[in-house]
Amino acid sequence: MKKVVFVSILILVSSLIVSCSTMYKGTAAAYWSSPYSIREDKSTDINGEYKYVYFLLYKNNALASGEDGIETIELAKMYKNNEFISHTIRVGFIGNKWRFMDNLQIKIDNNDVLTLEPLNKPTRDVISGSEVQEINWYYLSKDIVNSLKSCNALIIQNYDNPRSITSDGIAAMKEFLSE
């Protein structure tokens, strides 16, 4: 009897691990990565092969401070059939409350605040009984990318409090955008 209970528990735990890793595929990498790390993802469809190179600019583990989730801000380079397409910003959130993120505001140095509209409708999913996930993508024009490459100060706001990017983050971002 003890052996049957042990095997049943083992199967249950294995199932939970597999289902959790499947739920978070594509977004977990950012949540579990170190700030300023770079990762790649690939996908293929009828139009060709796509490659995404992500740079983790900001990660706030709000759960550790008693808030409601984990927020990430990533810059991304998008390629189709190995040809560069565009730069984007990907904002992700996993937590226990919906945020209904919409526009993204960025302030480069002391210039005016730029408001970016999402590329398409945000992805909003319930990933477990108590957790939700939201993802938004925003296009970065060449002018914005050039401003980011030469900036000394950067503030990003997508939901509540503005996020000031550290000087280390700005230096790593410049390197990523210049590659």
pLDDT in tens, 113-134: 999 988 888 888 888 888 888 8
117 within some domain: yes
Cα(1)–Cα(98) distance, rounded to whole angstroms? 44
For 117, the domain range is 26-178
**pTM reported for the whole predicted model:** 0.74
Q: Which of 30-44, 61-75, 142-156 shows the highest mean pLDDT?
A: 142-156
Q: What share of the chain in percent tops pLDDT 90?
A: 40
Q: Check which CATH number belongs to the domain holding 125 and give it.
A: 2.60.40
Work out how many domains the chain is built from and give that number: 1
pLDDT above 60 (res 32): yes
Distance CA 51, CA 64 (A): 32
Write down the mean pLDDT value for the chain: 79
In this prediction, residues 139-154 reach a mean pLDDT of 94
**Residue 71 φ then ψ, to 5°:** -115, 140
Coarse DSSP helix, strand, coil percentages of the chain, rounded to the nearest 5 percent: 30, 40, 30
Residue 4 has pLDDT above 50, yes or no: no
